[in-house]
Amino acid sequence: MLLKRVAILAVALLLCTVMAPFSLHAANAIYGGDPFHFGFKKSRNQQLASINEEGFKGIIQKNEAIFLGDVTKKELYLTFDNGYENGYTGRILDVLKEQKVPAIFFVTGHFVREQPELVKRMVDEGHLVGNHSWSHPDMSQISNQRLKEELEKVQVEVSNLTSQKEMHYLRPPRGIFNDRILAASKSLGYTSVFWSVAYRDWDPKAQKGWKYAYDNVMSQLHPGAVILLHSVSSDNTEALSRILTAAKEQGYEFKSLDQMQTKTY
């Protein structure tokens, strides 16, 4: 009897091992193809960042997502991801107000529910609020209906809180996407926003000081850059004023995404 049970278990494990790749492939087929995790070749010496070797450039371009602005002009677009509050967003807003720099904050349902006053302040002080989804799922693994619900819930909450009644920009959680998700969100009136300047800043337990943040951002600046910063980072908060001042001194101008007239890939 024991040998029979062992044999059955062995067969079951073998079937799981064999079928798992097929199950994953089937799931990806249902949900619009294999997912991509956004990545790029970083800029150095003001050369342009690049997605030429990442395998998804055509998908980004076809769905008119944002990677770069006008690379013939020294314009910069500042974006923040606000999945949750870590005590720094108020100070970030203070710096932006002092420096007269516009930004967009991509918020989740959790952030909107927990920090309504900060969301109100973002809009009141002239910034855009973008959609980072309600529950921060892997969007490549949810249905179009679920996608619509995720985005609508954030938009409605922000609309109820602020004078911003529409929402046009989406940042897919964790930068995971596929062709279907970009196309479906576009059909809902959203432009997906990726980035061309970023560094590993999202872990509050791995902060290394303002100079580390400053050096990482400044070393990547280039015309038309879309900068991604996470608001949970103490390093970003301490470095932000210095970054904005230094970028302006280099002749850069910070613009709102609503001012972007040219997309570059």
Active site residues: 81, 230
Number of neighbouring beta carbons within 10 Å of residue 200: 11
Matching residue, tokens 């100070």? 91
Q: Which of 221, 257, 233 is closest to 82 using CA atoms?
A: 233
Report the C-alpha gap between 32 and 22 in whole angstroms: 15
Q: At what angle do helices 89-99 and 234-249 cross, to 10 degrees?
A: 10
Matching residue, tokens 């280099």? 250
Q: Which of 156, 181, 179 is closest to 170 using CA atoms?
A: 181
Report the C-alpha gap between 157 and 135 in whole angstroms: 13
Report the C-alpha gap between 48 and 41 in whole angstroms: 9
Q: At what angle do helices 210-218 and 234-249 cross, to 10 degrees?
A: 40
DSSP per residue, 129-163: EEE--SS---GGGS-HHHHHHHHHHHHHHHHHHSS
Number of neighbouring beta carbons within 10 Å of residue 31: 19
